[in-house]
Amino acid sequence: METSRPVVVKRMPSRVDQQAAREFLREVQPFLKSDRPQLVFDLSQVKQLDSTGVDVLLHCMTEAVRRDGDLKLAALSPESAIILEITRTARLFEIFETSTDAARSFTSFLPNFVRNQITRRPPTDEERIAA
């Protein structure tokens, strides 16, 4: 019988530049090394997100998936949402309005792939043109 694993919610700093990104990565590394990590990064306080910050998000996602876990993003600030859209990395993450919603999504029965197929909306004209 499998017991539920904890969901770790981590708030990202207001500036996610090279120095802050390295420090953030050091803080979350123990969680990433666990078996089947379930992580939520809260981006509500992020005012500046540079390429290093985006790289850290992608690295954390890769590490979580490599260990049969997942990383979800929550409460994106307008600034972080813009950067993730411009870099086209937003589509790689499940993004939620709140950290609570993201944490609760880990308890859903359906695997992410199936849940995404069910809830996926058709692309808008803008999204089709951009692709």
Q: How far lies 98's CA from each of 45, 48, 121, in Å?
A: 13, 19, 20
pTM of the model: 0.77
Residue-wise pLDDT for 17-46, tens only, equals: 999 999 999 999 999 999 999 999 999 999
Whether the per-residue pLDDT at 106 is higher than 90: the answer is: no
Which pLDDT does position 64 carry in this prediction? 94
pLDDT(120) > 90: no
Contact 106, 38 (CB under 8 A): yes
Give the pLDDT of residue 119: 46
Instruction: Phi first, then psi: give them for residue 119, nearest 5 degrees.
Output: -95, 0
Taking a C-beta distance cutoff of 8 angstroms, is the pair 15, 38 a contact?
A: no
Domain map (residue ranges) of the chain: 2-130
Helix axes 18-32, 51-66, angle to 10 degrees: 10
Which percentage of the chain shows pLDDT scores above 70? Answer: 79
Tokens of 120: 């996926």
DSSP type of residue 91: G
Per the CATH hierarchy, to which homologous superfamily does domain 2-130 belong? STAS domain (3.30.750.24)
Element (H, E) at 78: helix 78-86
What's the whole-number mean pLDDT along residues 87-100? 95
Amino acid at position 4, single letter: S
Q: Sheet harboring 8-11: ordered strands across?
A: 8-11, 38-42, 70-74, 94-96
* pLDDT band, very low/low/confident/very high, at 107 (cuts 50, 70, 90): confident
Mean pLDDT along residues 65-85:
95
CB contact at 8 A, 39 and 31? yes
